[in-house]
Amino acid sequence: MTWETQTVPGPDGLVCSVDRLASEAGAAVLRAGGNAVDAAIATSAALTVTTPHMCGMGGDLMALVAGPGTGSAEPLVVNASGRAGSGADPERLRAEGHRTMPPLGDVRSAPVPGCVDGWLALHDRLGRLPLADVLAPAIELAEDGFPTSPMLAFMLPKLAGVTGCDELVEAGVGTGDHLRRPGPARMLRAIAAEGRDGFYGGEFGERLLEVGAGEYLPGDLARSSADWVEALGLDVWGHRVWTVPPNSAGVLALAGAGIAERAGLGADPDDAAWAHLAVEAARLAGLDRPRGLFEGADGGVLLHPDRLAARAAMVDPRRTVLREDRYAGGGTIYLCVADRDGMGVSLIQSNAKEFGCHVAVPGTGVLLHNRGIGFSLEAGHPAEYGPGRRPPHTLAPTLVTRPDGSLRALLGTMGGDSQTQLVLQLLARLLVTGDDPAAVIGAPRWVLAAEGGTGFNVWERPAAHRVRVEQHAPASWRPGLEERGHEVRTARPDPAGFGHAHLIEFPVDGPPRGAADARSLIGAAVAG
């Protein structure tokens, strides 16, 4: 099965997301005079309504913004990932017998949600239209309803038994059935009218304190989760690639690209050697994940040229290097927006795993994420669960500029621990092979899988990785990878297992053009 993808031009702006309704919401804001930031917020807000199985106001957000209107030569970056509440107690979890953070049914895996703070930070600094106008399309979708997507209909049974989800678990809701979301509509109206106070200081905040039962205190909600931080960049393949610094995993995507370039990754993705070198680069970069990715980690150290060169020197074109004798041991959306003035936004928003921790904030229609599963329960670990701390994130939004500083591309994907692997492949096809957006997004992919994989434990035992490849991968990949010592599995058609990636490119001599991932089934690139 191949994924038919089209490159869409956007002379007056372009929105790429996992859901056509959300892309159209963003495009409508562009047509109304909004800029790329306005449209990105509008798209993101619409997605919290139509794709609650992947994101919501109870999740987190990270974004990069570049181009005219930012007032900066480098990308602006907002990290709106939430912090654990004041009641976070790792000793209590350890005493209960937990060795890892409980993923479901436990509010302790839900740091204070940062998504809404991210919207407000972006809008306050860079937005053009009134916030009420930006949120209006999402409010309309929530109040008037929308046809249930195939993916949402498939996922809804997972909420059986979760209290507070009545509007999502009505009997008989199937593909195409009309679904209204009065809770999120009310939350969005409160944000439009009162800003931060309408959400964190209003009904949502009050109910969050109740459901938290001591995990959160009022001061936790009074503190914004959105910080403007310095972009992390790396020169690779004749461009500079940018991402959000740690606690984002974006540094691993950049490191993987740096290792791949130094190891001699070629321009022919049909060659098994290409797949092997890309896999090895991603795996070697991922060695830093367990102990090197945490809030405050120095991304520059992980990207130091000597470090990347040393990792690249380990790559053997004939054999995988990570073997047992050498080493021992979702629910996310990505969107990108360009406006007619050349501003671009690369934004990612997440529940972490599907519907998050399966805890709803009563009466609001908002489910809490479980990004706290990124915390460690090892005493003294740099990413140990604790009050006011941010967990390591798999989120890796990416932005590419040319040597002259002009914007070249926006790209990213969902996919848990596979995000950085997929970003590496997208970058290689765009910057080395020279594919257009449709070819980059529609091309076959590989991802690393762990035994008993959850999508968030890939880096626990790098030597035990299996390489999953899509069915439409080049015929050379599987035998070529197996000859080099990889354990390979060809995957059946899997709409969620290889990411939902989107890309907007900014040609030197033409308008932006982009492509949305057909793997999402309802994704769309919509012109402004």
Q: Can you tell me the mean pLDDT for 42-49? A: 98
pLDDT at 327 over 80: no
Q: Can you tell me the mean pLDDT for 329-357? A: 89
Q: Which residue has the higher pLDDT, 310 or 459?
A: 310
pLDDT at 168 over 90: no
Angle between helices 131-144 and 182-194 (to 10 degrees): 170
Pairwise CA distance, residues 238 & 436, whole Å: 17
pLDDT at 14 over 80: yes
Q: What is the DSSP letter of 512?
A: -
Q: pLDDT-based confidence at 409, cuts 50/70/90?
A: very high
Q: pTM score, two decimals?
A: 0.95
Q: What is the CATH number of the domain that holds 465?
A: 3.60.20
Residue by residue, DSSP assigns 265-291 as --S-TTSHHHHHHHHHHHHHHHTTHHH
Q: pLDDT-based confidence at 453, cuts 50/70/90?
A: low
Residues in the chain, how many? 528
Q: Percentage of the chain surpassing pLDDT 70?
A: 95
What is residue 324's predicted lDDT score, i.e. its pLDDT?
A: 37
Which 3 state secondary structure label does DSSP give 199?
Answer: helix
In this structure, the number of other CB atoms found within 10 A of the CB of residue 128 comes to 19
How many distinct structural domains can be found in the chain? 2
Same domain, 281 and 358: no
Mean pLDDT for the chain overall: 92
352, two tokens: 């972490």
Q: Which residue has the higher pLDDT, 502 or 173?
A: 502
338, two tokens: 């360009």
DSSP strand pairing (331-339 vs 227-230): unpaired
Q: Can you tell me the mean pLDDT for 493-501? A: 84
Which 3 state secondary structure label does DSSP give 366?
Answer: strand
Pairwise CA distance, residues 502 & 510, whole Å: 19
pLDDT at 321 over 50: yes
Same domain, 80 and 200: yes
81, two tokens: 């990932």
In a domain, 181, yes or no: yes
In a domain, 379, yes or no: no
Q: pLDDT-based confidence at 166, cuts 50/70/90?
A: confident
> Residue 319's domain spans which residues?
232-330+394-527
What is residue 462's predicted lDDT score, i.e. its pLDDT?
A: 67
Q: Yes or no: say if 64 and 122 are a contact pair by the CB < 8 Å rule.
A: no
Pairwise CA distance, residues 261 & 284, whole Å: 13
In a domain, 261, yes or no: yes
pLDDT in tens, 109-163: 999 999 999 999 999 999 999 999 999 999 999 999 999 998 888 888 888 888 8
Pairwise CA distance, residues 20 & 175, whole Å: 15
pLDDT in tens, 328-342: 225 789 999 999 999
Pairwise CA distance, residues 213 & 369, whole Å: 17
Same domain, 429 and 319: yes
Given 320, 346, 374, the domain boundary residue is 374
What is residue 326's predicted lDDT score, i.e. its pLDDT?
A: 33
